Chain A
Amino acid sequence: MNTELITFFIFSFLLIVTSVKVITSSNPVLSAIYLVFSFFLSAVLWLLLGAEFLSIILILVYVGAVMVLFLFVVMMLDINIAKKSAAYIKYLPVGIGVFVIFNVLIIFFFISTFENINYNAINSINVISESNTENLGYVLFTDYIVEFEIAGLILLLGILSAIVLTYRKNPNNKYQNPTEQIDVEKKDRLKIIKGLKE
């Protein structure tokens, strides 16, 4: 047993534990925290493959930004403990169905490709340098520039449409105008009256 394999087994075991905890814990905030941990652990697995860029970006984007906003929303909700009664049993068959189908697909995929897996696939794209951060950047901005830009545009559209769908102008809202506030001078606020007798 080499260290890489041992690390892999420890972290993948923890990953399975935390992923199960995500769906079994009754408190939504706890679920979100376990999801954060599972992102972390999968980042470690990617790091073991030598995919440093992907693993750090996973932490940076999903843990550092997406899950923070997620936690934000979940904390605002006033449901501390989800009841696992009627709804739990009602959705159980659907859950089992999805679980089975998904796993069957994954297992079929693996059986057909298991022999041909190139464990060093990520390291072997040697475009310009050893570091796969540089390689990914190079490939994204040359070979896949169109797809990359389209993905960016789709994300931008997503942001814009979320704003368009939720933004309602309330005529009663009172706004402060910062530039106006900054531009205030003495004569706007203070009136000196001359000629008053003591």
Chain B
Amino acid sequence: MDIIFYIINTLVSILMVVVPLFLIVAYVTYSERKIIGFMQSRMGPTRVGPSGLLQPIADVLKLVSKEIIIPTNANKGIFLTAPMLMLVPSLLVWAVIPLSEFFIISNINAGLLFILALTSLSVYGVILAGWASNSKYAFLGSMRSAAQIIAYEIAMGFALVGVLMLSGSLNLQVIIQEQSGSILNWFWIPLFPLFLIYFIAGVAETNRAPFDVSEGESEIVAGFHVEYSGMAFAMFFLAEYMNLILISILSSIMFFGGWLSPFQGTFLDTYFSFVPGFVWLSLKTLIFIFIFLWLRATLPRYRYDQIMRLGWKVFLPITFFWLTVIGILIYLKYLPL
């Protein structure tokens, strides 16, 4: 009986995360088109619903009703599994993300490791999609993307090592609690270089502009998902936006105190104590999502060799150096604050 109750409880909490997540993804695509539209002096979608608000739903209906075309000589099994391999890890990570002080699907001890392990899996979807499509553009895109993801994953992992050193725990709730005190206790001050590296590597990891060489429209049409249509394409699309939201929420958890209130430790704290932690986390995450969209509207695409140079020759040495600095500061008891 206990086990049945446990399973139902878990299923409900999973649905509580996943269903809103799909809606958020839909509206992130809408806001992306609106924001980039305004930045480029356009209107963005306006036709479907009031000020285009129903556009994402129209998009979903279109994608669902489309045919999934399988190219000749494509490896059918892998061709159809690849989008799922892309989507599943990015959904699984949400199991360990603390959405508020009380709500977390699974509060495991090795949360940070779990996140690192699962984010390293998204590369399979890309590689297998590119290979199984039996198309040169798709293969080129997947090769580029795989090399890029491997290069930036290392810098990203090392940036999180800094968080680990300061918090002394792999548990995400503990990481957030270690940042409590005031806005000056959040990890972004001692770990500022690592935060920048984490966020930029996150942009590269999600294959978004300015690092979107894997789908670079002007060079290789759409990269690894050029042969995909209908729902199969929709899954890549979902996974990309899911990863975008994930990187944003992780940056706010690791470096900006997660669900902690920014007014902690000041006289304003008592006035804002009614605001639930979830709201603060959402606000912080929305800022990062906005930066993602802003980057896409502003920056031109990096050249491929420059991406590799940035990952291996700039980011990696900086993380090594800063970890040494942090280590020395901890040894001299200047940190954690």
Contact = CB atoms under 8 A, between A and B. Distances in A.
Interface of A: 3, 27, 29-30, 33, 36, 52-53, 56-57, 59-60, 63-65, 68-69, 71-72, 75, 130-131, 133, 176, 178
A33 B128 CA distance: 9
Contact of A52 (B109, B150, B305, B306): B109
B113 A60 contact: yes
29 contacts: A27-B75, A29-B75, A36-B124, A52-B109, A52-B110, A52-B113, A56-B117, A57-B113, A59-B118, A60-B113, A60-B116, A60-B120, A63-B117, A64-B120, A65-B120, A65-B150, A65-B153, A68-B146, A69-B150, A71-B128, A71-B131, A72-B143, A75-B127, A75-B131, A130-B109, A131-B109, A131-B110, A131-B170, A133-B170
Given A29-B131, A33-B128, A59-B121, A178 B109 contact: no
B120 A72 contact: no
Interface in B118-142: 118, 120-121, 123-124, 127-128, 131, 139
Interface string B138-156: 0100010010001001000
Interface string B298-318: 000000011001000000000
Task: Across the A-B interface, give the 3 residue pairs with the lowest CB-CB distance, nearest first.
Answer: A64-B120, A60-B117, A59-B117
B104 interface: no
A27 B77 CA distance: 12
The interface residues of chain A, by DSSP majority, are classed as: helix
B114 interface: yes
B244 to A, nearest CB: 20
Interface in B304-337: 305-306, 309
Contacts, number: 69
Contacts of B123: 64, 68
A170 B44 CA distance: 51
Q: Give the interface size bracket for B toward A.
A: 20 to 34
B106 to A, nearest CB: 12
Contacts of A33: 78, 128
Nearest to A58: B117
Contacts of B117: 56-57, 59-60, 63-64
A66 to B, nearest CB: 11
Given A29-B131, A71-B127, A133-B113, A52 B108 contact: yes
Nearest to A27: B75
A133 B78 CA distance: 35
Q: Of B75, B109, B153, B309, which is in contact with the most chain A CB atoms at under 10 Å from its CB?
A: B109
Contacts of A63: 117, 120-121
Interface in B158-176: 170
Nearest to B305: A176
Contacts of B153: 64-65
A178 B309 contact: yes
Given A29-B78, A52-B108, A65-B150, A178 B113 contact: no
B15 interface: no
A130 B174 CA distance: 15
Q: Of B110, B128, B139, which is in contact with the most chain A CB atoms at under 10 Å from its CB?
A: B110
Contacts of B110: 52-53, 56, 131, 133
A107 to B, nearest CB: 33
Contacts of B118: 59
B1 interface: no
A103 to B, nearest CB: 31
Q: Of A64, A68, A178, which is in contact with the most chain B CB atoms at under 10 Å from its CB?
A: A64
A178 to B, nearest CB: 6
B131 A53 contact: no
A87 B217 CA distance: 46
A141 to B, nearest CB: 13
A18 to B, nearest CB: 14
A33 B110 CA distance: 26
Contacts of A52: 108-110, 113
B69 interface: no
B3 interface: yes
Q: Of A56, A133, A176, which is in contact with the most chain B CB atoms at under 10 Å from its CB?
A: A56
A56 B113 contact: yes
